[in-house]
Amino acid sequence: MGQLIVFEGLDGSGKTTQISLLKDFLEQKGQQVISTREPGGTIFGEKCRDLFLTDGITGISEAFIAFASRVEHINDVINPALKDGMWVLCDRFSDSTLAYQGYGRGVDLNTLNHLVDFIERNLPSYTTIYMDSHLEGIKKRISNRETTDKKFDEETYDFFSRVRNGYEEIMKRKGDGALIINGNKNINEVFENIVSGVSEIANLK
């Protein structure tokens, strides 16, 4: 059985950069690795992503679009790769839905958690890497980055504060299933901390 590593954090926290670095590192160790993202990861999922990024839709609609994408992602990509012994590095997963749509948008958390449990019922346990960064630094990174996925870039400080507080609550509940990384450090320091944590989890040498 392979390993699923999920990267979580606010927009602009450096997840995508660290996924790329970790993928290269693992491949150099002789591991088979795929990187993927949510919403997305499949043809259907990428269509869901376009819908998800539509301006003006409700938090409930965002959540259900993300869930629909996730079901196909797990069935078509993640579980088959894990069964083949591969590493799967995923940019966002269920915690993003809880943090952004639950804590950020105010969608009922009990409902979201029930859906998460149902959708993940056949998914092996996995490790979450949470990139924790100060809000001030996040807003600066967002303003400087080049991306077409700018839906959340114009959200308020209060929105991102609610999302970050949500992530903190989620990570507390995960306990040993979460690796919390200080994303305020430079890229190399962050990567070293991630490698250290992942190597311990997977007994890499």
Helix (H, G, I), strand (E, B) or coil at 185: coil
pTM: 0.92
| Domains parsed from the chain with CATH numbers | 3-202 (3.40.50.300)
For 105-136, write each residue's pLDDT tens digit: 999 999 999 999 999 999 999 999 999 988 77
Residues 6+ apart with CB under 8 A from 90: 4, 5, 6, 7, 35, 36, 37, 38, 41, 78
Identify the sign of the CA torsion 96, 122, 33, 196. positive
pLDDT at 140: 62
